[in-house]
Amino acid sequence: MKNMHKFWIVFSIIILFAAGTVTGVLLEKYLFEKKQKKGILYTPTLEKMAEDLSLTEIQTSKIRDIFQKNDIRFKAFAQQIRKKLATIRAQLKEEVKAVLDEEQGKKFDSMIEEHVAKMKKEHEKRRKDHKKTSKEKGEIK
């Protein structure tokens, strides 16, 4: 009977994790991409700005520097977020494993590895699709 409770706890956590992942993917696909297309999250390319605003070479150069500085800031911020998320995920995994017996722990590790591999594959696919779309729009040269 005790093992059945453990099973339902682990099963519930896995379902919750999967539901969160699916929700995140759907939100990104249907909510965030639409906002970007509407211009809410969109920043025009430097070339587009230079053309539309009739920027001088000096202005273009200064704005390029601003973009580069902010790119560094964005990357540093994203790295901080990834580290924090990794810490939280590790804590979650250890808390779940503390409830499981040795056999269940091994199966749980296997399930996590399969899920991570699947997510990496999906991420690469989205990345390739994004690059393809960006090239078609002329954003990437």
Q: Which two tokens stand for residue 24?
A: 């995140």
* pLDDT value of residue 126: 87
Asked if residue 100 lies in contact with residue 108, where contact means CB atoms within 8 angstroms, the answer is yes
Q: Does 5 lie in the same domain as 34?
A: yes
C-alpha torsion sign, points 101, 107, 108, 109 = positive
Q: Does 59 lie in the same domain as 26?
A: no
* pLDDT value of residue 135: 66
* pLDDT value of residue 39: 47
Q: Does 112 lie in the same domain as 133?
A: yes
Distance separating alpha carbons of residues 40 and 47, to the nearest angstrom: 19
Name residues whose C-beta falls within 8 Å of residue 119's C-beta, 6 or more positions apart in sequence: 21
Q: What is the CA radius of gyration of the chain?
A: 22
Q: Does 20 lie in the same domain as 5?
A: yes
Q: Does 65 lie in the same domain as 49?
A: yes
Q: Does 49 lie in the same domain as 37?
A: no
Q: Does 55 lie in the same domain as 93?
A: yes
* Alpha helices by DSSP H, 28-101: 33-38, 46-53, 57-99
Cβ–Cβ contacts within 10 Å for residue 115, how many? 14
What are the angstrom distances between the C-alpha of 82 and each of 27, 28, 132? 19, 17, 25
Name residues whose C-beta falls within 8 Å of residue 97's C-beta, 6 or more positions apart in sequence: 105, 108, 109
Structural domain range at position 116:
106-141
Q: Does 51 lie in the same domain as 91?
A: yes
Give the number of residues written for the chain: 141
Give the pLDDT confidence of 73-131 residue by residue, as tens digits: 999 999 999 999 999 989 998 999 999 999 999 999 999 899 889 989 998 988 887 77
* pLDDT value of residue 11: 80
Q: Which two tokens stand for residue 25?
A: 């993917």
Tally the domains of the chain.
3
Q: Does 61 lie in the same domain as 80?
A: yes
* pLDDT value of residue 18: 83
